[in-house]
Structure 1
Amino acid sequence: MTDPLSKLPLFATDREIATAVVGKERAAMYVKVVIPMLERQGFPRIDPLHDGRPTLLVRRFYDGYLGITAGFQVAAPDGEENLGVWKGRRQARNERKPQLDLNTRCVNALRYMVEHPDVTTSAEIPGATDFTMRELVDKGALREGKKDTQGDRTWIVLDAGREEIARYNDWHGGKRRR
């Protein structure tokens, strides 16, 4: 099918454009009603030198009006779907996340012990009690050691406890929660 606008001269009258766009029967209405409305939307004006509208610009106007210049979205396969990538990212994120579900008091006590390896009793840790240390044992971060020379319980940081503090540092950017 040939485009009726391509058969027009380079500069066409309103009547010629109307006939090409809507046909002979509706051309008069198009010239009287539609063209003035379209001019407000950027329809090409009459060139006074050539006494007609530039048909190339009329075509460009209709391409935009009809959405042709915006292009078409064609559904095409963009590659094989791999939902495992998303699961892998979530799993990696969850592995970075603190896992022992420690309260702030326990985190602070455990952090202090990790940062001060020579500290082994709750009396040496600010704000910690044997109750706090037992919570850390229950969570798998510490284990109970022997009593020291003064009769105080000693506590030993396990790898799980060191790993948890590393996860807290990574997860919170090294900032302590208060």
Structure 2
Amino acid sequence: MTDPLSKLPLFATDREIAIAVVGKERASMYVKVVIPALERHGFPQIDPLHDGRPVPLVRKWYNIHMGVDKNYVLQSLQDGKEDWSVWDRSKRDRRNDRKPQLALNTRCMNALRHMVEHPDIRTSAEVPGATDFTMDELASKGALKEGKRDSQGDRTWTVTDAGREEIVRLNDWHGGKRRI
């Protein structure tokens, strides 16, 4: 007895497969009822490029379904164990990357934000609510770098890359804004 699936093309329609499996009389019921039920149990999907199901996989699926090929069942159809800790760890890492890292108080955050938004500002006198103490605190956290004194004798400051990155993180963390 020859295998009826061996007479089919490499990619066959549901109707062709149904006729090969259950015969012409029951083919329409098989297409409407059985194939959708089998798909929930791993029956090969229609290949959109070839507009049909791959017949070798259909044959393999039936061999497994009827218990002919136990090795394939163990390798392909057993439910894998999910490792949620990998997903949680990466989610935690992504969250920590977004989190502000310099632990700035509100006064320092406002001063740093003002300096980033106004790159021409260099002294504490030009930053609303800031003093040299505020600038020293920002410098100790790595957000500012002290420069030379200006013509009036005031200390000058420049925002570092770490300071600009912290403002990006602060904006993202507090409201999802990305101003820079």
Judged with a 3 Å threshold, the aligned counterparts in structure 2 of structure 1 residues 101 and 84 are, in CA distance, closer, same or farther, namely: same
1:77-92 → structure 2 map (5 Å cutoff): 77-92=79-94
Which residue is 2:123 aligned to? Answer: 121
Structure 1 runs not aligned, ≥5 long: 1-75
Give 1 or 2: higher helix fraction. Answer: 2
Deviation at 1:83, TM superposition (A): 1.7
Deviation at 1:80, TM superposition (A): 3.6
* SS at 1:102 equivalent: coil
TM-score (norm 2): 0.53
Which residue is 1:137 aligned to? Answer: 139
TM-score (norm 1): 0.53
Structure 2 runs not aligned, ≥5 long: 1-77
* SS at 2:121 equivalent: coil
| Pairwise CA RMSD | 1.6
Which residue is 2:161 aligned to? Answer: 159
Identical amino acids, percent of aligned pairs: 68
Residues 15-62 of structure 1: CA deviation (Å, up to 9, x unaligned): xxxxxxxxxxxxxxxxxxxxxxxxxxxxxxxxxxxxxxxxxxxxxxxx
Residues 134-163 of structure 1: CA deviation (Å, up to 9, x unaligned): 000010100100001111000010000000
Deviation at 1:85, TM superposition (A): 1.6
Moved over 6 A (4+): none
Deviation at 1:79, TM superposition (A): 3.6
Please give the alpha-carbon distance, in whole angstroms, between the structure 2 residues aligned to 1:81 and 1:133: 47
Which residue is 1:59 aligned to? Answer: none
* SS at 1:156 equivalent: strand
Aligned residues: 100
1:25-44 → structure 2 map (5 Å cutoff): none
Which residue is 1:106 aligned to? Answer: 108
Residues 115-146 of structure 1: CA deviation (Å, up to 9, x unaligned): 00000000000000000000000101001000
Q: Higher Cα Rg: structure 1 or 2? A: 1
1:165 alignment partner AA: I
Judged with a 3 Å threshold, the aligned counterparts in structure 2 of structure 1 residues 143 and 120 are, in CA distance, closer, same or farther, namely: same
2:127 alignment partner AA: I
Which residue is 1:54 aligned to? Answer: none
Deviation at 1:82, TM superposition (A): 4.7
